[in-house]
Amino acid sequence: MKIDIYNHVMPVAYLEKVKQHSKDPGIVKRMSNLRMLWDIEARVQMLDQWPDVQQVLTLSLPSPELVGGPEFSPELARIANNGMAEMVRKWPHKFPAFVVSLPMNNVPAAIEEMDRGIEKLGARGVQICTSVNGRPLDEPEFFPVFERVTRKHDLPIWMHPARPAARADYVNEQKSKYEIWQVLGWPFETSVAMARIVFSGLFEKLADMRLITHHCGAMIPFFAGRAETLWA
Amino acid sequence: MKIDIYNHVMPVAYLEKVKQHSKDPGIVKRMSNLRMLWDIEARVQMLDQWPDVQQVLTLSLPSPELVGGPEFSPELARIANNGMAEMVRKWPHKFPAFVVSLPMNNVPAAIEEMDRGIEKLGARGVQICTSVNGRPLDEPEFFPVFERVTRKHDLPIWMHPARPAARADYVNEQKSKYEIWQVLGWPFETSVAMARIVFSGLFEKLADMRLITHHCGAMIPFFAGRAETLWA
């Protein structure tokens, strides 16, 4: 049995909301074109080729706080999480579990949705992005999210990069070129977030916190020697 | 014989200018504290322990355009390059060659200094940073530098990352924390510059151009699979 623990889906009801409300036409086009992301019957059929493969479901970008403001993102998260819960209920042998997405620009609602998703829908963890609309995760406002998932639920956090094309690679430019924001920017941003979580002391405050980073730890495993020398 | 082709020095006369004119006290302190960077007699003595090691000399950060405006950076480059040429003349068995630094914020002067450094001082290539004070290397203004070193001199370009602490890792912050700008930011920036050079077509325009990137190619060797998939 092989369980892919970081697989993405986009429930159709969520995709519709993204199409209506996202201000990033690039991401909408990208997600709409990836049929296996939202056509789950087609995915299940495809997966039949590899009967020993199971997938833990996580929501694809854009996350709720990237699509709607704090008054709307909680509803978006509920739609996404209900959709993933439904997939797990329908095809438990393909999808043994899912992970809730949270409206991170509204922390009280994120806590509420975390509890609902885990306790009512059976989610096995939470997914957050490496930043909340560009803000670092070690801002005190976000601490209750890390605390709750660790201390109350004892479940892990999946962390996904969210650097957008609008984040320029050079100070005199308006956006990233040649997909650099994704190809190189995502692993960079993941590792930056990892460093911030460590050095801001989050693991001291929450020694039992478990974090699953995307892309096998991004840059950190490859630059461990550099990190050890310069951060020693 | 082991030749380290990317070793840094800081001629004392250049260090003095950096101390007087740099607006980045962090880098001045860092360089001043690294004795082996500017006390070359001490370095030569240290190197005596490993008689089979030779070093090709390149200038340490900050590069001339990071210290002075376009009217002053050419003089800074001459001071640095004269200093490195003197080290090579004095200890040819330790330092078989050096590479010129260029005042990249003044392209005509950079060309002139390249010619002088290679033809009069015997430099075996040029060093540039991954950006010119934050501007990407594929801006047409910088093309003559790549063209000249390739077509006229047939010598390689050493490329060094230059991301400063002032480049914030998050959009709502003013600077990078926990040395992230250097530990993770430098390999990221090197790979971003490599991608820009490739996709902007610089190797199509200058098929014989040779580029030596710092840190063994930075992220590219490790993320070759990701790059191949997403850039295919």
Residue B7: CATH number of its domain: 3.20.20.140
Task: Report the pLDDT value the prediction gives residue A82, as an integer from 0 to 100.
Answer: 98
Task: Report the pLDDT value the prediction gives residue A26, as an integer from 0 to 100.
Answer: 84
Residue B169 with chain A: CB contacts under 8 Å: 136, 192, 196
Q: Do A183 and B172 touch (CB under 8 A)?
A: no
pLDDT band of residue A42 (cuts 50, 70, 90) is: very high
Q: Report residue B13 as tokens.
A: 């006369």
pLDDT band of residue A151 (cuts 50, 70, 90) is: very high
Contact with chain B for residue A108, Cβ under 8 A: no
Q: What is the pLDDT of residues A172-231, one digit of tens each?
A: 999 999 999 999 999 999 999 999 999 999 999 999 999 999 988 999 999 999 999 999
Task: Report the pLDDT value the prediction gives residue B216, as an integer from 0 to 100.
Answer: 87
Other CB atoms within 10 Å distance of the CB of residue B40: 23
Q: Distance (Å, rounded) from C-alpha A152 to C-alpha A174?
A: 42
Q: Distance (Å, rounded) from C-alpha A36 to C-alpha A38?
A: 6
> How far off is chain A from B19, nearest CA to CA, in Å?
23
Domain that holds residue B135: 2-231
Per DSSP, the residues of B30-50 read HHHH-HHHH-HHHHHHHHTT-
8 A C-beta contact, residue A12 and residue A38: yes
Q: What is the pLDDT of residues A19-36, one digit of tens each?
A: 999 988 888 888 889 999
Residue by residue, pLDDT tens for chain B (232 residues) are 999 999 999 999 999 999 999 988 888 888 889 999 999 999 999 999 999 999 999 999 999 999 999 999 999 999 999 999 999 999 999 999 999 999 999 999 999 999 999 999 999 999 999 999 999 999 999 999 999 999 999 999 999 999 999 999 999 999 999 999 999 999 999 999 999 999 999 999 999 999 999 988 999 999 999 999 999 8
Mean pLDDT of the A62-86 span: 98
Residue B227 with chain A: CB contacts under 8 Å: 183-184
Residue of B nearest to A216 (CA): B223
Smallest Cβ–Cβ distance between B226 and the set A173, A183, A227 belongs to A183
Per DSSP, the residues of chain A read -EEEEEEEE--HHHHHHHHHH-S-HHHHHHHHH-HHHH-HHHHHHHHTT-TTEEEEEEEPSSPHHHHS-TTTHHHHHHHHHHHHHHHHHH-TTT--EE-EE--TTSHHHHHHHHHIIIIIS----EEEESEETTEETTSGGGHHHHHIIIIIS---EEEE----TTS-SSTT-SS--TTHHHHTHHHHHHHHHHHHHHHTTHHHH-TT--EEESGGGTTTTTTHHHHHHHH-
Q: Distance (Å, rounded) from C-alpha B188 to C-alpha A11?
A: 34
Task: Report the pLDDT value the prediction gives residue A140, as an integer from 0 to 100.
Answer: 98
Q: Residue A160 pLDDT > 90, yes or no? A: yes
DSSP strands (E only) in B87-139 = 97-98, 100-101, 126-129, 131-132, 135-136
Task: Report the pLDDT value the prediction gives residue B25, as an integer from 0 to 100.
Answer: 85
Number of domains composing chain A: 1
Residue of B nearest to A220 (CA): B184
Contact with chain A for residue B217, Cβ under 8 A: no
Contact with chain B for residue A1, Cβ under 8 A: no
Task: Report the pLDDT value the prediction gives residue A25, as an integer from 0 to 100.
Answer: 85
Task: Report the pLDDT value the prediction gives residue B116, as an integer from 0 to 100.
Answer: 98
Residue of A nearest to B177 (CA): A196
Contact with chain B for residue A171, Cβ under 8 A: yes
Q: Do A134 and B192 touch (CB under 8 A)?
A: no
Cβ neighbourhood burial of A23 (10 Å; 0-12, 13-18, 19+): exposed
- In order of A227, B109, B120, the CA distances from B77 in angstroms are 31, 10, 14
Compute CA A165 distance to the chain's CA centroid, rounded to the nearest angstrom. Answer: 17
Task: Report the pLDDT value the prediction gives residue B220, as an integer from 0 to 100.
Answer: 94
Q: Residue A116 pLDDT > 90, yes or no? A: yes
Q: Which of A83, A59, A82, A72 is nearest to A22 (CA)?
A: A72
Contact with chain B for residue A232, Cβ under 8 A: no
Contact with chain B for residue A168, Cβ under 8 A: no
- The dihedral formed by the CA atoms of A102, A104, A105 and A107, expressed in degrees to the nearest 10: 90
Residue A185 with chain B: CB contacts under 8 Å: 188
Task: Report the pLDDT value the prediction gives residue A188, as an integer from 0 to 100.
Answer: 98
Q: Which is higher by pLDDT, A127 or A28?
A: A127
Mean pLDDT of the A132-158 span: 98
Contact with chain B for residue A136, Cβ under 8 A: yes
Contact with chain B for residue A169, Cβ under 8 A: yes
Task: Report the pLDDT value the prediction gives residue A23, as an integer from 0 to 100.
Answer: 86
Strands across the sheet containing A211-213: A100-101, A126-129, A157-160, A211-213
Contact with chain A for residue B173, Cβ under 8 A: yes
ipTM value:
0.93
Q: Do A192 and B169 touch (CB under 8 A)?
A: yes
Up-side HSE of residue B222: CA atoms within 13 Å toward CB?
21
Contact with chain A for residue B203, Cβ under 8 A: no
